[in-house]
Structure 1
Amino acid sequence: MADPRAFLSFDFDHNKQSKDLFAGQCNSKSPTPFTAFDWSSKTSLPQAQWEAEIKKKINRTNMLIVLVGRSMGTATGVVKEIAMAKSQNVPVFGVYVDGANTLSTLPTGLPRTRTVAWDWAKVAAKVRQMMNEGKNV
């Protein structure tokens, strides 16, 4: 079986650097092989076009990983991506980045019980959990 594919959801305005670090490290330091994709839109698109494009991309993955930063309260795109994943039976979990922790605001739709510290053993355990419970494309 090929490595599981993960869509990375993040607050573009506040956590792009954390996303770049996470994506780079996941392919070299993760104890569980998985491939993370930054399929975020690189240009501003009309809302309906953005939603259709992102929904299609999420559907081609095994899971959605939300990089939870300190400014999640303003990340409306992340909330939409979580809803899209859930509507397509793509499992979702979160990873705290950029100094966020268990006291930080989570985006709507992401339970705290499905959010872990950025520790590769914990991330790997969540990847395995998502593969056991989720959509295997």
Structure 2
Amino acid sequence: MAEPRAFISFDVDHNSSEKVLFAGQAFHSKTPFSHEDWSAKSPMPQAQWEALVKAKINKTHMMIVLVGRHMATAIGVVKEIEMARSQDVPVFGVYVDGADTSSTLPTGLNRNRVIQWTWDGIGNAVDQMMKQGKNKS
């Protein structure tokens, strides 16, 4: 099978820098997944954005949510998690921006599915996601 594909969900208002760092480091690590920058490049009507994002999520094996300190205001992240769940795409989170186990999580993401940002941990989570949801053999 080809390398697993991941959709990276993040709070565009607060964690764009962490997304760039995460994506860049992922390309240079031994982490067993690939991703593309599927961020919307320009503002668009809500319905168009939702259709576009849902189609992109459907092309992936998993969603990785970058969990920052301001997740309570990340409405787009919550919608992306809902889209992943509706398509049986497994989801896990990675703490960024000083977030930790006391930080608010976006609706739909369980605390036991969020890990610290270590590439070994992320690699293990990717392996686990490849046995869940639409990836079950």
Distance 1:33 1:127 in 2: 7
SS at match of 1:77: helix
Distance 2:80 2:32 in 1: 23
Distance 2:98 2:49 in 1: 29
Distance 2:115 2:84 in 1: 19
Q: Please say if 1:27 is aligned against 2:27.
A: yes
Distance 1:20 1:135 in 2: 27
Unaligned 5+ runs, structure 2 = none
Q: Which residue of 2 aligns with 1:85?
A: 84
Distance 1:36 1:114 in 2: 20
Q: Which residue of 2 aligns with 1:132?
A: 131
Q: Please say if 1:50 is aligned against 2:35.
A: no
Q: Show structure 1 runs of 4+ deviating over 4 A.
A: none
Identical columns (%): 64
Unaligned 5+ runs, structure 1 = none
Q: Is the 8 A contact 1:15 1:98 kept in 2?
A: yes
Q: Which residue of 1 aligns with 2:59?
A: 60
Structure 1: which amino acid aligns with 2:26? C
Structure 2: which amino acid aligns with 1:3? E
Structure 2: which amino acid aligns with 1:16? S
SS at match of 2:105: coil
Distance 1:39 1:135 in 2: 21
Q: Is the 8 A contact 1:54 1:81 kept in 2?
A: yes
Q: Which residue of 2 aligns with 1:14?
A: 14
Q: Is the 8 A contact 1:62 1:91 kept in 2?
A: yes
Distance 1:81 1:91 in 2: 12
SS at match of 2:81: helix
Report the count of equivalent residues. Answer: 135
Question: How does the TM-score come out when normalised to structure 2?
Answer: 0.95
Q: Which residue of 2 aligns with 1:106?
A: 105
* Residues 88-133 of structure 1: per-residue CA shift (max 9 Å, x gap): 0000000000111111000000000000000111111110000011
SS at match of 1:93: strand
Distance 1:38 1:8 in 2: 8
Q: Is the 8 A contact 1:72 1:106 kept in 2?
A: yes
Structure 1: which amino acid aligns with 2:13? D
